[in-house]
């Protein structure tokens, strides 16, 4: 296997069947044929080639193309299009054969076929993101009051709720739906420029054919051919890295929260999932691990994709091939990450008791800031901070609740009832705007994408 994505064994781990299928050889050949057929129809519409010839070309089928012949042709010329045209010409009359690929160049057909592949992937991605968003919205609503230690630098910081954390996983996805909508008009455009981007072979009909070709394929038209302008593909690659990165943030949180010593969540209740070959007690967070691996790989491949946009003059040399090696992998890894994230968001197991126990086990030091601000209402803030810092040391070293320790250290510094010590000791009384923030995210709408879930 060249990569795990190509493996029968490992492929299902890292990819998603519905996405991988879009990038199979068979599907790619169909997309190449689709472009050649659409080109013939467009040229007949404009009057560049005879209608009778276009009708014959429109009847060709990718199923009759000898893929082995394309392989041999690609080894000879570096591209499959010469062999493709020869295969298509076998399916039409001698009169119609010369009009296949009329006025086009290899890159016109291959780039446009790639755009068609990406369009199919985008439709699946959009649906999958909305599915994940829906699951996370349910999680945020269900656990909007489930107390959890908010952690900064991996240390307990302030009390939050699991609902807020889920909203934090959800919010970037809403922006990614919006970004995807913004990208598509720039990405889903036809490529048609002829040998050097001038469309000279078509005389004064080149731009009309470009527009007709775009209409046939339901694609947009660019201002000019983009043979060596690869920013559209690179922008989409950036989006792929963004979405997998956001999913990996959720997955990384789950990995940390699923550690034995923390045990606040589990990936699912399915017996044997994430099992170890030698340690019966293990339930490894394999789903989350795969998401993080995809994100890290996409981040690495994105660098190569940025390098791939460096093309020479009007038609490039090696940059295009680097693009072939990177962008399809990124799309397939993203498909796999989205598949796993949908499973994770739907099946996450939550142990609310463990979440609260972890706060208690840490002697409630998570309420240190709350204590400072409560005391600062009756004494100078620096004095309050000094008192709470001393209380933290005592609470940890003597294994005592922080607020109880603060109260004892404060002594008679406060009038009776000036500080509600019982209320102060409850984490759910120091959640700030948590509820309102969750509500803002759960509106679930974007400026460009409309309602997401």
- The answer to whether 145 and 428 are in contact (CB under 8 A) is yes
| Residue 33 domain flag | no
SS3 339: helix
What pairs with residue 266 in β-bridges?
Answer: 349
**Does the pLDDT of residue 71 top 60, yes or no?**
yes
pLDDT value of residue 272:
54
- Token pair for 281: 């007690």
* Residue 325 and residue 204 share a domain: yes
**Does the pLDDT of residue 446 top 80, yes or no?**
no
* Residue 333 and residue 229 share a domain: yes
Alpha-carbon gap, residue 255 to 293, rounded angstroms: 13
Taking CA 6 as the corner, what is the angle to CA 3 and CA 8, rounded to the nearest 5 degrees?
A: 125
* Residue 427 and residue 369 share a domain: yes
The secondary element (H helix, E strand) that includes residue 163 is helix 162-187
Question: In this predicted model, what pLDDT tens digit does every residue of 373-397 receive, in sequence order?
Answer: 999 888 889 999 999 999 999 999 9
* Residue 378 and residue 288 share a domain: no
What pairs with residue 61 in β-bridges?
Answer: none
Domain that holds residue 250: 4-14+105-355+439-451
Q: Each residue of 92-105: b (16+ CB within 10 Å) or e?
A: beeebbebbbbbbb
Across the range 434-441, mean pLDDT stands at: 95
Alpha-carbon gap, residue 173 to 192, rounded angstroms: 34
- Token pair for 448: 């460009």
pLDDT value of residue 273:
60
pLDDT value of residue 379:
87
| Residue 191 domain flag | yes
Number of domains in the chain: 2
**Does the pLDDT of residue 282 top 50, yes or no?**
no
pLDDT value of residue 6:
78
| Residue 63 domain flag | no
Q: Each residue of 165-174: b (16+ CB within 10 Å) or e?
A: bbbbbbbbbb
pLDDT value of residue 271:
60
Question: In this predicted model, what pLDDT tens digit does every residue of 166-219 receive, in sequence order?
Answer: 999 999 999 999 999 999 999 999 999 999 999 999 999 999 999 999 999 999
| Residue 82 domain flag | no
* Residue 183 and residue 156 share a domain: yes
| Residue 268 domain flag | yes
| Residue 25 domain flag | no
Q: Quick one: how far is CA 390 from the chain centroid?
A: 46
- Token pair for 260: 């034995």
**Does the pLDDT of residue 280 top 60, yes or no?**
no
**Does the pLDDT of residue 422 top 80, yes or no?**
yes
| Residue 246 domain flag | yes
pLDDT value of residue 2:
66
pLDDT value of residue 8:
81
Q: Whole-number mean pLDDT of the chain?
A: 92
SS3 189: strand
* Residue 248 and residue 330 share a domain: yes
Taking CA 86 as the corner, what is the angle to CA 85 and CA 89, rounded to the nearest 5 degrees?
A: 85
Taking CA 139 as the corner, what is the angle to CA 138 and CA 140, rounded to the nearest 5 degrees?
A: 90
pLDDT value of residue 149:
95
Choosing from 24, 93, 276, 303, the catalytic residue is 276
Across the range 267-285, mean pLDDT stands at: 59
**For position 420, which CATH number holds?**
1.10.40.30
Q: Quick one: how far is CA 212 from the chain centroid?
A: 33
**For position 447, which CATH number holds?**
1.20.200.10
| Residue 145 domain flag | yes
* Residue 176 and residue 226 share a domain: yes
For this structure, is 276 an active site residue?
Answer: yes
Question: In this predicted model, what pLDDT tens digit does every residue of 141-162 receive, in sequence order?
Answer: 999 999 999 999 999 999 999 9
Query: How much of the chain exceeds pLDDT 90, in percent?
Result: 82
What pairs with residue 147 in β-bridges?
Answer: 161
Residue 276: pLDDT band by 50, 70, 90 thresholds? very low
**Does the pLDDT of residue 274 top 90, yes or no?**
no
**Does the pLDDT of residue 234 top 60, yes or no?**
yes
Choosing from 7, 186, 315, 413, the catalytic residue is 315
Higher pLDDT, 289 or 279: 289
* Residue 313 and residue 282 share a domain: yes
* Residue 381 and residue 320 share a domain: no
* Residue 151 and residue 205 share a domain: yes
* Residue 347 and residue 367 share a domain: no
What ranges make up the beta strands (E) of 251-410? 265-266, 349-350
* Residue 369 and residue 234 share a domain: no
């Amino acid at each position: 296997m060249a990569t795990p994505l190509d493996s029968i064994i490992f492929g299902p781990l890292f990819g998603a069947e519905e996405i991988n299928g879009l990038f199979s050889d068979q599907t790619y050949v169909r997309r190449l044929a689709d472009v050649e057929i659409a080109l013939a129809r467009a040229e007949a519409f404009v009057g560049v080639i005879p209608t009778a010839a276009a009708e014959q070309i429109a009847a060709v089928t990718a199923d009759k193309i000898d893929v082995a012949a394309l392989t041999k042709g690609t080894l000879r010329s570096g591209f499959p299009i010469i062999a493709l045209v020869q295969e298509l010409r076998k399916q039409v009359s001698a009169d119609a054969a010369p009009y296949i690929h009329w006025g086009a160049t290899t890159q016109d057909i291959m780039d446009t076929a790639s755009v068609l592949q990406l369009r199919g992937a985008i439709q699946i991605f959009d649906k999958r993101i909305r599915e994940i968003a829906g699951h996370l919205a349910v999680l945020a609503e269900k656990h909007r009051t489930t107390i959890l230690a908010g952690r900064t630098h991996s240390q307990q910081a302030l009390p939050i709720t699991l609902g807020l954390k889920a909203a934090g996983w959800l919010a970037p996805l809403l922006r990614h739906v919006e970004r995807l909508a913004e990208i598509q008009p720039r990405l889903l455009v036809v490529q048609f420029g002829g040998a050097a981007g001038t469309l000279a072979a078509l005389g004064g009909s080149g731009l009309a054919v470009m527009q007709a070709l775009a209409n046939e394929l339901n694609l947009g038209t660019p201002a000019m051919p983009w043979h060596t302008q690869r920013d559209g593909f690179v922008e989409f690659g950036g989006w792929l890295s963004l979405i997998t990165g956001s999913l990996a943030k959720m997955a990384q949180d789950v990995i940390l929260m699923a550690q034995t010593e923390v045990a606040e969540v589990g990936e699912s209740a399915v017996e044997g999932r994430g099992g170890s070959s030698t340690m019966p007690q293990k339930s490894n967070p394999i789903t989350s691990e795969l998401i993080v691996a995809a994100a890290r790989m996409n981040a690495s491949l994105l660098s190569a994709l940025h390098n791939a946009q460096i093309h020479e003059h009007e038609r490039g040399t090696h940059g295009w091939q680097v693009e072939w090696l990177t962008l399809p992998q990124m799309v397939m890894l993203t498909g796999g990450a989205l598949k796993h994230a949908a499973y994770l968001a739907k099946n996450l197991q939550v142990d609310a008791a463990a979440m609260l126990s972890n706060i208690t086990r840490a002697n409630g030091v998570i309420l240190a800031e709350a204590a400072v601000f409560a005391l600062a209402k009756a004494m100078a803030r620096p004095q309050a901070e000094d008192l709470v810092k001393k209380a933290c040391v005592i609470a940890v070293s003597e294994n005592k609740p922080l607020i109880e320790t603060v109260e004892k250290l404060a002594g008679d510094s406060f009038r009776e009832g000036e500080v509600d010590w019982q209320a102060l000791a409850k984490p759910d009384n120091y959640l700030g705007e948590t509820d309102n923030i969750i509500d803002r995210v759960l509106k679930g709408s974007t400026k460009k994408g409309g309602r997401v879930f």
